[in-house]
Structure 1
Amino acid sequence: MSIEFYEEYIESNKSIIYKICRAYSHSQEEFEDYFQEVCLQLWRSKESYQQQSKLSTWVYRVSLNTCLSMVKKETKKVSTVEINEKIDQVHQFSEKEERLEELYRAIRMLKEVDRAIILLYLEEHSYQDIASIMGISSTNVGAKINRIKKQLKENMLWKSLT
């Protein structure tokens, strides 16, 4: 991997990659594995980037697809009990990041497609960009985001009561 590739593809889009990997991983070790795999997949598929969309959109799509593939592989290997144990063992971040971690836990409770939509929304992508990436209408994006926000509030409230 060249320095130029690292700076253009990875470093300039690190926040996107971090957020996606963090949303789909359940521990620091798993996060690092996801991040490494995303970087590898970006490097392997760099020739397929045809500049028809913004680089950040392409990086988002590769990152999301990589993480979803890894989740599917893990789901096949791990029983529901083991998944719940993994969630319970999530690495605790500093007090300053505790609220953010609570949000990510709530996001992980969402369906995979809903996770992708809310992550795009949190990255401040327009409804049109989200619609384009997800292959749905802008109107549908708005409706889904409102429903996802409500579900996140409920998930976070439920977690604080338990």
Structure 2
Amino acid sequence: MDKHSIEKEFTALIQQYRNVIWKVCYIYAKDRENLNDLYQEAIINLWKGFPKFRKESKPSTWIYRIALNSCITFFRRFSRHPQTLRLTESWDFAYEENVFSSQIQELYALIHCLGNIERALILLWLEEKSYAEIAIITGLSQTNVATKLCRIKEKLKKMSNQ
């Protein structure tokens, strides 16, 4: 495959899954600038990894894994202190120019208070990925995924009642 064909295939793949990448980055972003940085970082890492993508898994699985790892790595490098958000705090940006309902914004604010791995797991669960798919994407066992998701849901319930 020549360079032009590879670029064309990659661009088509990114276009097809750009909403997935935005969602992952949005879950980890602190503000609009941070969202753009994360998105760029994820695209760069997808491009670097594209020649090694053997298509043994679904493209969405591969993209989730790379995007999640990009966001987690980004914050490990640049942020050592977790940031918390009050539920009343309003974010000044919205995913893909859509206006989220206040309930969705509140849910994202709660999710933003979770740890990196917890965010990844709940995002994948909200995207209706099966435990098997989540296990493949995160590298955890299915049993571990089920246990962690149960704990995360309980944690979110407690956080929402405060």
Q: Does 1:42 align with 2:46?
A: yes
C-alpha distance in 1 between matches for 2:31 and 2:159:
20
Identity rate, percent: 34
Provide the secondary structure at the position in 2 that maps to 1:136: coil
Q: Is the 8 A contact 1:118 1:148 kept in 2?
A: yes
Q: Is the 8 A contact 2:64 2:137 kept in 1?
A: no
Q: Is the 8 A contact 2:65 2:138 kept in 1?
A: no
Alignment of 1:63-78 (within 5 A): 63-76=67-80
C-alpha distance in 2 between matches for 1:95 and 1:59:
25
**Bigger helix fraction:** 1
Aligned residue number for residue 7 of structure 1: 12
C-alpha distance in 2 between matches for 1:4 and 1:46:
10
Deviations 1:65-113 (A, max 9, x none): 111111112214xx67xx459x957325576433222111111211211
Alignment of 1:26-65 (within 5 A): 26-65=30-69
Letter in 1 for 2:158: E
Q: How many residues align?
A: 152
C-alpha distance in 2 between matches for 1:58 and 1:155:
31
Deviation of 1:44 after TM superposition, in Å, equals 1.7
Letter in 2 for 1:31: L
C-alpha distance in 1 between matches for 2:113 and 2:84:
11
With structure 1 as the length reference, what TM-score do the two structures score?
0.81
Deviation of 1:27 after TM superposition, in Å, equals 0.5
Aligned residue among 120, 123, 128 for 1:124: 128
Q: Is the 8 A contact 2:110 2:160 kept in 1?
A: yes
Relative to structure 1, the CA distance from residue 84 to residue 14 in structure 2 (aligned partners, 3 Å threshold; closer, same or farther) is same
The 10-residue stretch of structure 1 (48-57 or 128-137) with the greater mean CA deviation from structure 2: 128-137
Relative to structure 1, the CA distance from residue 130 to residue 96 in structure 2 (aligned partners, 3 Å threshold; closer, same or farther) is closer
With structure 2 as the length reference, what TM-score do the two structures score?
0.81
Aligned residue number for residue 148 of structure 1: 152
Letter in 2 for 1:148: I
Provide the secondary structure at the position in 2 that maps to 1:26: coil
C-alpha distance in 1 between matches for 2:56 and 2:100:
39
Q: Is the 8 A contact 1:34 1:67 kept in 2?
A: yes
Aligned residue number for residue 97 of structure 1: 101
C-alpha distance in 2 between matches for 1:53 and 1:107:
27
Alignment of 1:7-26 (within 5 A): 7-8=12-13, 10-26=14-30
Alignment of 1:78-93 (within 5 A): 83=83, 90-91=91-92, 93=94
C-alpha distance in 1 between matches for 2:93 and 2:138:
32
